[in-house]
Amino acid sequence: MDARNKASSSSSRSSSSKRWKYQVFLSFRGEDTRKGFTGHLHAALSDDGIRAFLDDNELERAEFIKTQLEQAIDGSIISIIVFSKSYADSSWCLDELVKIMECRERLGQQVIPLFYNVDSSDVRNQTGSFAQAFEKHEAGICEGKHEKEKVQQWRNALTQAADVCGEDLKNADNGHEAKFIKKILGEVNKQLYSKYQLDIEHLVGITSRMKVLSNHLDIEKSGSKDVVRMIGIWGMGGIGKTTLAKAIYNKFEGSFEGRSFLANVREVIANQPITGLVGLQKQLLNDILKSKSDIKFDSVAKGIEMIRERLHRKRALVIIDDADDLQQLKAIARKPDWFGPGSRIIITTRDKHLLEQVGVDNAYPAEGMDEEEALELFSWHAFKRGCPDQEYLDLSKRVIHYCQGLPLALEVLGSFLNKRTALQWESQLERLERSPHEAITKILRISFDGLPDRTDRNTFLDISCFFIGMDKDYVTQILDGCGFSATIGISVLIERCLVTVSEQNKLMMHDLLRDMGREIVYENAQGHPEKFSRLWKRKDVIDVLSDESGTEEIEGVTLDLDFHLDLHGDLRWELLRDLHWDLDLTRFSAQAFANLKKLRLLHLSNVELTGEYKDFPKKLIWLRWKYFPLESIPDDFPMQPKLVALDLKYSDLKIVWKNCKLHQNLKILNLSYSYELTKSPDFSKIQNLKELILQSCWSLSEVHSSIGDLGRLSLVNLECCYALRDLPLNFYNSKSIETLLLNRCSCFEKLAEGLGDMVSLTTLKADETAIRQIPSSILKLKKLKVFSLCHVKGSPSTNLLPPSLLSLSSLKELALASWSLTDDAFPKDLGSLISLKNLNLAGNDFCSLPSLSRLSQLQDLSLYDCKNLSAIPDLPTNLEVLRAGDCIALEKMPDFSELSNIRELYLHDSGKLTEIPGLYKSLNSMTRIHMEKCTNLTADFRKNILQGWTSCGYGGIFLSGNDIPDWFRCVHDDDIVYFTVPQSVGRNLKGLTLSFGFSSSSKRSSLGFRISIKNMTKGTELEARIIPDCRTKGYYLWQGQLSNDELKLQDSDKVWIEIIVDKWVKVKKTGVSLVWDKFMNENMIDYHLCAYERRPSQYLVNDDDIIHVECDNHITKSPDLSYFPNLEKLILKGCTWLIKVHSYIGDLGRLSLVNLEGCNNLEDLPLNFYKSKSIETLLLNGCSRFQNLADGVGDMVSLTILEADKTGIRQIPSSMVKLKKLRILSLSGCWRLTEDAIPKDLRSLSLEHLLLVDNYFRSLPSLAGLSKLKVLCLNACRDLRAIPDLPKNLCVLEANGCPELETIPDFSEMSNMRELYLCDSFKLTEVPGLDKSLNSMTRIHMEGCTNLTVDFRNNILQRWTSCGFGGIYLNGIYDIPEWFKFVNNVDNFVFFEVPQRILGRDLKGLTICFVYSRFSRRSYWDYLELEDSERRIVIIVKNFTRQTALHARIASVSLLEDHYLWQGQLSNDVLRLEGGDHVSILVRSDNDFVRVKKTGVHLEWDKLMKENMDHK
C-alpha cells in the first residue's frame, strides 16, 4: 500500500474527467418523448448533478448540424438511446446511433439502450414499426435519397444496440415511468462514477486488508442496507490508512447514491483554521448532492444544520481522512442518523481514542507490510517493477529491514534510490544508520507534535531512548516516579500509534518512530551531546564521561558495553581480557556524573566507576547497573529518596548494603544472577517494595525475615536459588504476595503449613524442587489460579496431595507432572475443578483417570509419557490440545465427534491404538495430528483423516509408513514433483494437498522441513515452512495443504515442488493433489508459525522449452526432465546447492543449451548426459567441485561451446578430439589442470577460441595444427615457461602475467596477428620475427617486460604503422625514443610548426609518444572501479593557424602500478595538417588517476600508415 494521499481534496472528480464535455448523451426521437419521458429523464439527471446533452437545450436550431452532434457524442462518457416507435423514422437518429456504436467500439463508451414502449426484438430484427420505417428508407435508395451502404449501417447499428444489456419499460416496475427513471439514474451513477476512481499507485498487499475491512463495513449483506455504520481505520503515520480508505471508496462508491472523500482533514484545518471546517462541510454537501451551484453558508453551526437536513435520506459513502480532533467529526458526522439508511462513514486517524469518543461500530488497526509485500512495493518505486534487480536483492532486503514494513518509508526510499548505483545505495544505508530520512520523519512527527501534554511527549522520548522492549508495568512504575502519570500517558501513546504492547506485555516501537524520537532530542540540543536531555549513543556517552563534560541538561543516560557473556565475576573479566577488550573503555571516574544534577534515569552495563560516589546524582528514579563490579553498595553512595527501581543483575555483590540509603519509593529490587550473594538484604527500610527478584542467586541460602512485614510486596522470584532450603516463617504471614516462584530451587524441601494464610496468592510454581508434600492448608487459597509442582527430586510421600481439591475453585492451571502418581494417590474430584484451563499430568503411573468431561473450560491436557495409561476418559467438548504421546499402553480413546474446538492431537508411539472414534467429524477445527509409530491404525481410519483434512498452513498429519495415498494422481519417487495446472472449466482451484514419505535417522529437535513451490511459468517461487518438527527416528508420512490464496496458481501454470530437508532426513516419495471447490480452512491460530518467503524471477519455463533458474540457494536437484521432452534450454545458474542433474537429460532430443555456472557443489553429470546429440553449449564455469568430464563427451557431436572455468577438472578426455564442431573451449582457473591433462594432438578440432587462463601448467603441446584458431588466452599462467608453435591465422594472443615466460615462437609468418598481450613477462627479451608482422597489428602490450633488448624495442617502435585506437605499451623505464624531434621532458604538451613540403614529400601523419604514471593520491583499487570508457587518454591536437581542434581518444590507461610508455599514430587524413601550421599536442586523462610526465611528437613523411578501423 502507498502511504500518503496523492488525490486532490475533492473526491468527486479525477483529473482524467477533464476530457469529457458531457457525462451523458441522450439520443431520442423528439416527437415521441421530448416533452414526456426523455424530458423527465433529462431533468432527473440534471437534478442529480449529471451534465447531460439534450439537443434543444444545448444547440439552437440554426446550429443543429451533424458535426456538432458528433462532437457531443464523442465528448460524452455514456450514451443513453431511447428507442421509441418512430425512432427509426429519423435518419438523424439513425446517424446518431451509428456514431454512438462507433464510439462504443473505438473509445469504450458506455451505452445504455432503453426500450420505451417497443420490443427489443423489433429493434434487433427491424420488425414491427421499425420494419415500416426501413421500407421508407429502402424506397429512399431508389429515389436517390440514401445510399444502400448507409441503410445497411443503420440496420447493423440497431442490431448491435439491441444486443447490449439495456432496460425495458414494460419489464420494469409494471411500466411505472418514475420508478423506471430512478432505476436508470442508479445505473448511470454506477457506470459514471466507476470512471472517477481515486488515484492509487501500486496496490500492493491491499486485497487481504480490504477483505477484513469489507466484513466490518457489511455493505453487501441485505440485512445491513437500512443500517448506518461508522468504521474507523487507525494506525501510525505512513502505515497506509489513506490508501486502504481509497481502495474501499473505489470498490464500493458505485453502490451509493452519493459519495464524498474528504482528504487530509487535519492538514486542511491546520492550514485554514478559520474557514477550513466550513469548507469541508461544503465539500461534503456538494459531493453528495451534486448541486448545480455551490452550496453556501458561513458557519460550522449552519453547516451542521444543512448536513442533517439535506443528507438524512441520502445513502452515502463518506470518507473522513486523517481526522485528529473530535470537533472535526462532530461538525461533519456527529451521529449516524445524519445520513440515510445504508450509509457508511469511514474515518482514518492516528488516534484510536478519537474513534472510541465518536463511537464507531468497528475500529480496524492498519498493519505494516510483511517482508514480501514490502519488497514488492519498494521495488515498484526503486525499479519500476514488482521485484528488485538480482544484483540489488541483498541491498533491497537491507532497506526493507530498515523500513520495518512502513509503506511511507518504502515509497520514499524506493523513489530516492531509483536509478542510483549500488555504491550510492550503500552510502545511503550508512547515512540512515546515523539519522533518519527527513521526508519520513516529517510525516511521523505529526503524531508526536499532536500529543496533548508535555509529559506525554517526555514519556515518548524516554521510551524511545531507554525502554523499548521492557515490560510495560515495569516502565509505568518508573515513569510514574518521574511524575509523568505514565498509566494514562502510555495509553495515549498507544492510542496515537506511537507505542505498541506485545503479547508479552513489552513496550514496542517502530524503529523509524524510535529514530524520530532520538532525532528530536538531537535537534533540541543542536547536536551537542553534552546538552542532550537523553544520552543513548555509545560514542556520545563515552565522550561525555571521558571528558567529564556532562551538564545539568542530561536527564537520562544508557551505556551498554555488554559482550552478552552471562558469566560470573572473575571468569567474565578473564574472558574479556582474552578477547583483548580494552578495559579502559569500560572504566570512568564517578566524578564524571557530578554535574548531572537532574539525572533521573541511569542504565550501565559492563561499566566500572572509580573514585568516590559522594557527588553522584541524588535524584535517580531508575538505576540499572548490569555487572555491578562491587561487593556491596559503597558507604558514600548518596541517599536516593526518589529511587523506584534498582536493578543490579549479574552483580559481584556479596552483601547488598550495610546501611540502606534507598527509602520509601523503592518498588522494584532486582538482584538476579548475583552468584556470590548469600543473604538477601534487610527489607525493613523499604516498606513500599512491590517486586523482589532474586532469580539465579546460586549462593543465596537465607532470606531476611523482614520480608513478611512488606505490606505491598506482590512478586517474589527465587527461581534457581540452588542453595535455598526454606523461607522464614514470617514470610507466610504476607497478605500481599500474589506470585511465588521457586522453580529449580533444587534444595528447597518444604512449604510451611502457614502457606494457607497467604490469602492473596494466585500463582505458585515450584518445579524441580525437593518438596515431598503439599501442605493441606493450600486448600484455603481461594484465589490460587496457577499451581505447578513438577519433576520433584526423589520419591514423593504417599499423601502428596490433599484428598480433595474441590475448594481450589479459582484454579486455572494445574501441573503435577513426573510425580509417579498412581490411581490411589490421585484426587477423585479432579473433574470438579470447573475453572481449569490447563492440566499437566505427564509422566505419572496411573492406569486410568476420572472423567474430565465436566471441565468445561479445559483447553490443554497433557498426558505425555503416562506409560500405564490404557484409556483416556470422556473429554470436555471445548478441549483444544491433547498431548498423549509415548503412552505405550493406550488402547482406547473417547469419541471425538463433538470436540469441535480440537486443534492439536499428539499420540505418537501409542502402538496399541487402532482408531480415534469420531475424529473425522472434528477435522475442520484441527491444525495438526501426530500419530507417528501408531502402527496398528486401521486402513479406514487413516483414509478418513487423510481425505477429510481441511487445514491449510502450519501443521498437518504425521503417520507411520511412507506410502502416498492412492488418490494422489501426481506422485514421484523422490523429493521433487512436477505438474501443470489443468484448465479450471467452471471450477475453482482452492489449493494443493501435499504428501511425502520420509525416513529420519535422528531425534534432533528440528529436522528443518521446507517446501519450495516454483511457478516456472511466472518465474516466481514460494518457500513454505509449514511443517512442524518431528523428533523420532523411523519411516513416516506427512500430509498437509497450501491454500491457493498463498500459491496464486492459474490455469496452465507449470509447477515444480521440492521438499527440502537436512542431512538427517531422506524423502522417499512426494505427491500432490489439486483441490477443486473444496472447503479449505486457513490455520490462522498458528499463522505466526508459518514462514512464507517469495523469491521473484528465480524460475522460468516458457512453453516447456526453457527452464531458467538463477541464484536459487535452495535447489539441490534439477526437476525430473522427463516432464519436459521439448526442452531446448536448461539454465540453473548460481544454484550453489545443486548436487544432482536428472539423468533424463541425455534423452532430450532438442536440448541445445545447458548452463550450470556457479553450481559449486555439483561434482559430476549423469553418464546419460554424454549421449546427447543435440547439446551445443555447455557452461560449467564456477562449478568448483566438478572434477571429471566423462570420456563420452566425445560423442556429443553437436557441442560447439564448452566453458568450464574455475572447476576442479583434472583431465581433458582424449575423446574430445572427436568434437568436430567445437569452436570455443575455455578451461581457465582449473587449478588441478596440468600440461599432461591436455591431449597432444588437437589438429582435428575446429577451435576458434582457446582460453586457458590462470592455470599451472609449464608447457603446452603444439597448437600449430589448430588452423582456425583466432584467439588464444594464457593470462596468469604463472608457471608457463614457453609458448609452443602457433597457427599462422591467429589474431589475438593474450599471455599477461606469465612471469616465468622465456620462450615465444617465431612471429615472422603471423600475418593476421592483430593484438599481442605479454605484460609482466619479466624474462622475455624479444619476440622473434614480430617486426615482420607489424603491418597487421593494432596493439602490443608489453608493460612490465623490463628485459627487452634495445634492438627489439627500436624495431617495433620505428616500424609501427597502425593509426587510430591501439598502439604500443612498454615499461616506463624506456624513455621517449631519440628520433622524436619535438619532446617536452616535463609535461603533457608539445608545440611545433609543420615544415613546408620539400622535394615532393607527403606528410602522412604523426607518431605520438608519452610517458605516464599513476597519480599517487588515488588508489589502484579506485582505478579498477573505472568503466572502460573512463580509462581512455585524450590527445587534443589544436591547429592554431586554422583554428581547429581534434580530440582523439586512441589510447587507454594501462594497469597503474608503474611508469609506462605509449606510442601510437594519427593519420594526416584525419589531422589535415599543412606546411606552416602551428600545432599543439595536449595529452590528458579522462580521469584524475594519471599524470603524464613526458610528451613527444614525430612527423611521418612518405611512410605507410594503416588506419585501425576496429575501434574507429
CB atoms within 10 A of CB 974: 17
Distance CA 777, CA 890 (A): 36
Distance CA 338, CA 348 (A): 19
Which amino acid is it at 322? Answer: D
Distance CA 463, CA 444 (A): 16
Q: Is 96 a catalytic residue?
A: yes
Distance CA 471, CA 717 (A): 16
Map residue 102 onto helix, strand or coil.
Answer: helix
CB atoms within 10 A of CB 342: 19
Judge whether 52 and 24 are in contact, CB under 8 Å.
Answer: yes
Judge whether 109 and 103 are in contact, CB under 8 Å.
Answer: yes
Compute CA distances 197 → 15, 192, 489, 552, 567, whole Å: 10, 10, 40, 57, 63
Distance CA 1304, CA 1311 (A): 16
Across the strands, what pairs with 1272? 1250, 1293
Rounded to the nearest 10 degrees, what angle do helices 472-481 and 486-495 cross at? Answer: 130
Distance CA 251, CA 248 (A): 5
Across the strands, what pairs with 316? 258
- Kind of pairing between the strands at 970-972 and 1065-1076: antiparallel
Ordered DSSP codes for 387-454? S--GGGHHHHHHHHHHHTT-HHHHHHHHHHHTT--HHHHHHHHHHHHHS--HHHHHHHHHHHHT-S-H
Across the strands, what pairs with 1446? 1437
Ordered DSSP codes for 534-579? EE--HHHHHHHHHHT---TT--EEEEE--------HHHHHHHHHHT
Residue labelled with grid coordinates 519417487: 973
Which amino acid is it at 210? Answer: M
Judge whether 1332 and 1311 are in contact, CB under 8 Å.
Answer: no
For the chain, the first-to-last Cα distance in angstroms comes to: 51
**Total residues belonging to the chain:** 1512
Judge whether 233 and 364 are in contact, CB under 8 Å.
Answer: yes
Of the CA atoms within 13 Å of residue 1346, those in its CB half-sphere come to: 8
Distance CA 404, CA 346 (A): 27
Across the strands, what pairs with 1076? 989
Q: Classify residue 1112 by its DSSP letter.
A: -
Which amino acid is it at 1379? Answer: W
Beta-sheet strand order (sheet of 344-349): 258-262, 316-323, 344-349, 229-234, 362-365
In 3D space, the residue among 385, 392, 390, 396 whose CA is nearest the CA of residue 1110 turns out to be 390
Across the strands, what pairs with 669? 646, 692
Distance CA 1469, CA 1405 (A): 8
Distance CA 852, CA 301 (A): 64
Map residue 1194 onto helix, strand or coil.
Answer: helix
Nearest 5 degrees, angle CA 649-CA 653-CA 657? 110
- Kind of pairing between the strands at 1271-1273 and 1249-1251: parallel
Which of 96, 253, 555, 691 is flagged as catalytic?
Answer: 96
Looking at the annotation, which residues are catalytic?
96
